[in-house]
Amino acid sequence: MKKVKLIIIFTVLVDVIGFGIVIPILPFYVTGFGASATIVTLLFASFSFFAFFSSPLLGAISDRIGRRPVLILSITSTAIGWFVFAGATSIPILFLGRIIDGAAAGNFSIAQSYLVDISENEEDRTVNLGLIGAIFGIGFMLGPIIGGALATISHATPFWFAGGLATINAITAYYFLPETNKRKNTEIRLNLNPLVPLQRAIQDFELRPLFVTWMMFGLANVTSQTVFSLFVSKNFGFNAFVTGLTFTGMGVVVAINQGVLLKRFWLKRFSEGALEKIMLGALIIGVTLFVTRSLYLFIVATLFIGTGQSVLRVVLTSQVAGAANPQSKGEKLGMLSSLMSMCMVIGPIISGPLFEIDDTFPYYLAGVYLIFGLMMAIRHDRNATLGSGKTASGLPIKGDEP
């Protein structure tokens, strides 16, 4: 069982490292083909669009025929996608590489299902799923610095490296990963409509304010992130390596907040409802400092943005889980995933053209999204929604400590 867990952890790590490589390095690689900012962001959107359709479908198929064949297919698709992307000689081939990867993008969700399958009890399941978060943090710190270092050889090298990692991953899974789905549901009816979770989110009156705030956060995050490398290159002269180091630094801020400060400071001193507003405010300050084009204020901005993103993501997820009925927690959290996927399609489509008009416009728009999210948070009292004196995570809110 330990061997299975190690292979699954490696699968997630490779996925996140690849994701970490893409964000800071992709714009530098693609602009070498003469691509505009719009093309750069459409490449982000193309992967997200196909992943939006494929990820839930592959998860359902894994319930029907088993985890192992679907996971191997997904990892192989990732490897092929990276190799096509790295060896591209034209912009259409770049899009083909991202589409191949997105068309079978189920690594993450199937890996989660694997960890649930091998869990012996509820506590073990929570611990196993917690590993996903830890590996995500590690991968997001390693990806940008690996990508930045390899980019000093050539801008294509990081993507060859990511493809090689995925290939090793697929071979390892093929020879060593057993099937863990012992209760295959061959009667399951596959739902090809990825909009169903979104429809349910809109119809959920009680949780709708949280869903709207989550969507505003997602749109702001994706809109600003997809043009980040272009922005720092244009305004501060950052190359791929320095940009990778910047992302790694932000990853360290995220890790410190989620691994240490969240439990020991933030949740001890503030309620989740208060933290939601504080972190939205921190993000607003961060994107506002970005538009000054000052390098010193940019450094301060990364601290605000890293802290705001890391804490707000956990707090909003926790509030949804705490407010949902025990029988529907998985469904509600799935809605968050669907909403974020939608943001990853819409955000890049808007940010590229805006960047071409003025490089600060995507950050102004991100600020508008965040202000709207803050207005939603202020309007609705989250503590009343939770209906108790404790946070959704079970920790006492400020003022309840003995």
Per-residue pLDDT reduced to its tens digit, 125-136? 766 766 776 787
Domains in the chain, start-ordered, CATH in brackets?
A: 1-177 (1.20.1250.20), 194-397 (1.20.1250.20)
* CA angle, residues 18, 22, 28, in degrees to nearest 5: 145
- Checking if the pLDDT of 94 tops 90, the result is yes
pTM over 0.75: yes
Q: Kindly indicate the confidence band of residue 382, based on its pLDDT and cuts at 50, 70 and 90.
A: very low
220-265 pLDDT, tens per residue?
999 999 999 999 999 999 999 999 999 999 988 988 887 788 888 9
- Binning pLDDT at 50, 70 and 90, where does residue 395 land? very low
Q: Shortest CA distance to 192 belongs to which of 52, 72, 3? A: 52
d(CA 379, CA 47): 35
Give the span between the Cα atoms of 227 and 114, in whole angstroms: 34
Closest CA to 54 of 4, 95, 21, 98: 98
How far is residue 339's CA from residue 342's CA, in Å, rounded to a whole number? 5
CA-to-CA dists, residue 1 to 14, 59, 117, 237, 240, angstroms: 20, 21, 11, 49, 40
Buried b / exposed e across 236-253, counting CB within 10 Å, b at 16+? Answer: eebebbebbbbbbbbbeb
Confidence of residue 297 (pLDDT cuts 50, 70, 90): very high
pLDDT-derived band at 158, boundaries 50, 70, 90: very high
Of 292, 327, 288, 319, whose CA–CA distance to 381 is shortest?
Answer: 319
Top-confidence residue, 134 or 163: 163
Contacts of 108 (CB under 8 A, 6+ apart): 12, 15, 55, 132
